C-alpha cells in the first residue's frame, strides 16, 4: 500500500535574509577542515553575489562559470570564486508578471562544438496575453545572439509556467510546462500546458515519443519546477500542489499524473474512479500542507557527505533545503531530511560543480519581490 507522507507547518512570517559572517566564525571557531583540503576553518555558507533581480535558473556551465537567468530578462555568467557578473544577453521581449519572465536554461552537451544555450521565457503577444517560448542562442565573443525559436505559443500566465529544462544523454530536450492557471488543460492532449515535453535539439518531435506527432511525454501536471535525471536513467520532477499534495514524481513515458483529478496518491472514491479510466501514476512522495518545492538535483559528491546519493531540493515557502533518500530501485522515498530551515529566505535553484561545490539562488521572502537584492550563496558544509 502506498503511504502519504505529510509534514506540518504554518505559513512563514517574512524575515530578513541572514548570512554567516567572519565575526561569527572568529567568536566560534569552526574545527572542521576546508572542503578543498586546506585545513583552514571555513564558513558553512558564503554569499557570492547579492544584487540579482529574481534569479530563476542557476547552472554550472561548461566554461566553469555559473550561468544565471534573472526573471527580468537578463542572462549572465558569474565567476564562482570572485562573484563577478558578466551579462551575456538581455531579452527585451520578456514579460515579467508575478511568476512569469525569463525562466529555464540549459547548455548543449557538446558546448565546445555546438555553443548553444536553450532558454524559456514568457512574452505578451499583444492579443491573447502571455505565452511561453522555447528558444536557442549561440554563444560567441562572450555574448549570446541569433535567437532561434524551437517551440512557440505554449500557454502561459502570471502563475504556473513550469519551464525547467534538461538534455538527456541521447540528446533529447526535456521541458516542464505548467497548467498556466487552467487546470483542465493538463488533461487535454491537444494543449502543451501541464505537461512534460520531449523534443529533438532542433525543436522537432522525436519519432519515438509516446504519441506520434506530439511533443507530450507525460501529462496531468500542475506546475513542475524541479527536473533531474538520476544516474540510473530515471527522470524525477518536483511539482507544486494547490493547498495540499506537493509532489515528487518519477516520470514514465506516456503516463498520466492525474492533475486536477488526482492529488498525490489515489485515496478518495473520486480519484479511484478517475484512475480506472486512464493509465495514472501516483506520486512517490507528498507534502501536506504544501512547502512550494523548486529545483531538484541528484548529489553524488563526497564534498557534502550528508547529501551524497540523495535527491536534493530547494524549497520556496518553507525556505529549506530538503534531502530525499530513495529506495534501491528509485520507486519510493524512504527518508527526508531538512537543512537551513528559514535561514536564507526562499530558495529557488541549486547548481552543482563537477567537484561537488553547491550554489543556491535565493528569492527573498516573497515571490512578488522583484528588487535587485537577491543572492547566490555557496554551501561549503552543513552547519
How far, in Å, CA of 43 to CA of 381, rounded? 8
pLDDT in tens, 119-136: 999 999 988 899 999 999
The torsion of the CA quartet 261, 324, 107, 217, rounded to 10 degrees, works out to -30
244 by Cβ neighbours in 10 Å (0-12 / 13-18 / 19+) ranks as middle
Q: What is the mean pLDDT of residues 293-314?
A: 98
Q: In the structure, what pLDDT confidence band is assigned to residue 364 with cuts at 50, 70 and 90?
A: confident
pLDDT at position 37 over 80: no
Q: Which pLDDT score, from 0 to 100, does residue 371 have?
A: 87
Least confident of 14-23, 186-195, 201-210, 240-249: 14-23
pLDDT in tens, 87-127: 999 999 999 999 999 999 999 999 999 999 999 999 999 88
Q: Which pLDDT score, from 0 to 100, does residue 30 have?
A: 34
pLDDT at position 44 over 80: yes
- Number of Cβ within a 10 Å radius of residue 156: 31
How far, in Å, CA of 70 to CA of 17, rounded? 19
Asked if 339 contacts 350 with a C-beta cutoff of 8 angstroms, the reply is: no
Q: Which pLDDT score, from 0 to 100, does residue 276 have?
A: 93
Least confident of 35-39, 167-171, 217-221, 234-238: 35-39
pTM reported for the whole predicted model: 0.89
29 vs 225, residue with greater confidence: 225
CATH architecture designation of domain 22-379: 6 Propeller (2.120)
325 vs 368, residue with greater confidence: 325
- Residues in contact with 351: Cβ distance below 8 Å, sequence separation at least 6, in sequence order: 58, 59, 60, 66, 297, 358, 359, 360, 361
Least confident of 17-21, 255-259, 292-296: 17-21
pLDDT at position 23 over 50: no
Q: In the structure, what pLDDT confidence band is assigned to residue 41 with cuts at 50, 70 and 90?
A: low
10 by Cβ neighbours in 10 Å (0-12 / 13-18 / 19+) ranks as exposed
Amino acid at each position: 500500500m502506498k503511504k502519504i507522507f505529510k509534514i506540518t507547518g504554518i505559513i512563514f512570517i517574512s524575515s530578513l535574509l541572514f548570512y554567516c559572517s567572519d565575526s561569527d566564525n572568529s567568536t566560534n571557531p569552526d574545527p572542521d577542515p576546508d572542503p578543498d583540503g586546506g585545513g583552514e576553518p571555513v564558513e558553512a555558507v558564503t554569499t557570492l553575489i547579492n544584487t540579482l533581480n529574481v534569479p530563476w535558473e542557476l547552472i554550472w556551465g561548461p566554461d566553469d562559470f555559473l550561468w544565471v537567468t534573472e526573471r527580468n530578462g537578463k542572462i549572465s555568467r558569474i565567476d564562482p570564486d570572485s562573484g563577478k557578473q558578466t551579462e551575456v544577453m538581455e531579452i527585451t521581449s520578456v514579460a515579467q508578471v508575478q511568476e512569469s519572465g525569463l525562466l529555464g536554461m540549459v547548455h548543449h552537451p557538446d558546448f565546445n562544438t555546438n555553443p548553444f544555450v536553450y532558454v524559456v521565457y514568457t512574452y505578451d503577444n499583444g492579443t491573447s496575453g502571455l505565452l511561453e517560448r522555447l528558444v536557442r542562442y549561440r554563444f560567441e565573443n562572450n555574448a549570446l545572439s541569433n535567437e532561434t525559436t524551437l517551440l512557440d505559443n505554449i500557454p502561459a500566465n502570471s502563475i504556473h509556467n513550469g519551464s525547467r529544462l534538461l538534455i538527456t544523454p541521447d540528446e533529447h530536450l526535456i521541458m516542464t510546462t505548467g497548467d498556466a492557471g487552467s487546470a483542465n488543460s493538463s488533461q487535454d492532449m491537444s494543449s502543451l500546458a501541464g505537461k512534460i515535453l520531449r523534443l529533438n535539439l532542433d525543436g522537432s518531435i522525436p519519432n519515438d515519443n509516446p504519441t506520434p506527432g506530439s511533443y507530450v511525454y507525460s501529462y496531468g501536471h500542475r506546475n513542475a519546477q524541479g527536473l533531474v535525471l538520476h544516474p540510473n536513467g530515471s527522470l524525477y520532477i518536483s511539482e507544486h500542489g494547490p493547498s495540499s499534495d506537493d509532489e515528487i514524481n518519477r516520470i514514465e513515458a506516456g503516463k498520466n499524473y492525474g492533475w486536477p483529478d488526482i492529488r498525490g496518491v489515489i485515496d478518495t472514491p473520486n480519484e479511484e474512479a478517475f484512475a480506472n479510466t486512464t493509465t495514472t501514476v501516483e506520486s512517490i512522495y507528498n507534502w501536506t500542507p504544501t512547502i512550494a518545492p523548486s529545483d531538484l538535483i541528484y548529489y553524488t559528491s563526497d564534498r557534502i557527505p550528508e547529501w551524497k546519493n540523495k535527491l536534493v531540493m530547494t524549497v520556496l515557502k518553507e525556505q529549506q533545503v530538503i534531502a530525499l533518500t530513495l529506495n534501491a530501485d528509485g520507486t519510493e522515498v524512504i527518508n527526508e531530511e531538512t537543512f537551513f530551515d528559514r535561514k536564507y529566505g526562499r530558495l529557488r535553484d541549486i547548481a552543482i560543480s563537477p567537484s561537488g561545490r553547491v550554489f543556491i539562488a535565493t528569492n527573498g521572502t516573497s515571490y512578488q519581490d522583484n528588487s535587485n537584492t537577491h543572492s547566490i550563496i555557496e554551501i561549503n558544509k552543513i552547519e
